[in-house]
Amino acid sequence: MSASTEGGWVDEADWLRFVESCLVTMLEASDDGFFVFDAEGICRMIGRKAGELLDFEPHEFVGQTRLHVLELIAKNTEDPQGFLASTSPNDLLQEGVVQTELDVVKPQSRHVVWQTYPITQEGRVRGRLAVARDVTRERSTDRSIRQLKARVAELSPFDVLTGLPNARRFHEELEREHLRSDRHWEPYAILRVAIDDAQALEAELGRPTFERLLDEAAVALRGVRRDYDLLARIGACDFALLLPGAGPDAVEVVRLRIEAAVAIRCEEPGVPHPFSVSIGAAVWLPPAKESAATVLATASLSLDEALPRGPQGFMSRTVTDRTVAPVAPVAPVAPVAEGADS
C-alpha cells in the first residue's frame, strides 16, 4: 500500500489521525472480518464483519488479549480445541502468513478461513492482522461442481482425461463380446495394462504430470489395436484391451507390440518422463462356462502377479471348461552388454 503526506496536513499527528480514520473505515466497510493485534498481543481494532461472522460485539473484544479473543471465538466453532491449536499465540511475531480453516456453528453454520499477516514497521514485526473470510458460498459451489462432474463422469461412456471408453463402456462391450464368442465358438482375450511403479511416479512428478503420462500411454496403446479391438481406461493408472478372436499366440504378439510401442513413445519429444508397462492377460476358450466378469477378474489377477515382476512384467491365464490355467510368464530379455562375446 502506498500513501502520500504532501499537502493539506497541519502536522504529523493530524496525518496519523487521518490514517487511523481510514483504517477504521476500511475495517468497517470490508466484507471480511478483521482483527488488529499489537506486539503485546492486545486487540486494538476489530471490523464490523468479524462480529457478524463469529457472533460477538466487536467493542467488547477491543483491549482484550489475543488468547482471550481466540478462546471466545473458539466457543462458536465446531472444533474449539483444533482451532486454538492451529492459531496458538506463538505465531504472533512470525513473519510468514498463517492460515487455518474453521467451521462456525453460531450464529449460523459457516465455513471460515482464518489468516493472519505480520504488521511490520521499518523491518520489525509490530503486531498481527487476522482476517476471517467467509467461504461458505464458494465451498458450496465447489462441492456442487465436483458432484456434477462425478455425475457426468458416471453417465458418460468416455474417460475425460484420455478420451478412451471408460470402465462402464468396457463392461458393456465385454458382455456383448462374451455372448458373441460363446455363440460362434470363438476365443477372445482381455489384457490389463498398467504403468509400472505408478504410485512412485505420481509422487515424484505430481498429479498433473502423471496424468500426461497416462495420456501418453493411451496414445501408445491406441497404435497397437485393430479396428475392432476395444481399448478403455478402467482404473486410476491402468487400461484394458479387449481382443475378439484372440488366442494365446495372439496375446503374445500384442504384448510385444505394446512394449515396443511404449518404448518408441517414450522417445518422442514432449513426453515428461520415461515409463514402462506390465501386462496381465486372460484368454477365454470355448466351451468354457465362466462369465465375462470372471474372465476380467482373471486378467486382473494376472496383472497383480505381473506387476511385481516388472518393469515389463507379464502373466497370462487361459480360461477353459476345465480350469483357469496359468501360462508361464515371459521374463524381459536382458540387454547384451557391449563387448560381450558372441
Neighbouring residues of 299: CB distance < 8 A, sequence distance ≥ 6: 190, 191, 192, 240, 280, 281, 282, 317
Burial environment of residue 308 by CB neighbours within 10 A (0 to 12, 13 to 18, 19 or more)? exposed
pTM higher than the cut 0.95: no
Of 249 and 30, more confident: 249
On average, the pLDDT of the chain sits at 83
| In the chain, domain spans | 12-139, 161-327
* CATH pick for 161-327 out of 3.40.50.620, 3.30.70.270, 3.40.980.10, 3.40.50.300: 3.30.70.270
Digit-coded pLDDT (tens) for 113-148? 888 888 888 878 888 888 888 888 888 787 787 777
**Which residues is 279 bridged to in the sheet?**
193, 314
Q: How far is CA 33 from CA 79, 159, 168, 173, 198, in A?
A: 20, 43, 48, 56, 44
* CATH pick for 12-139 out of 3.30.450.20, 3.20.20.210, 3.10.450.50, 3.40.50.970: 3.30.450.20
Digit-coded pLDDT (tens) for 15-71? 777 777 777 777 677 778 888 888 888 988 888 888 777 777 878 888 988 888 888
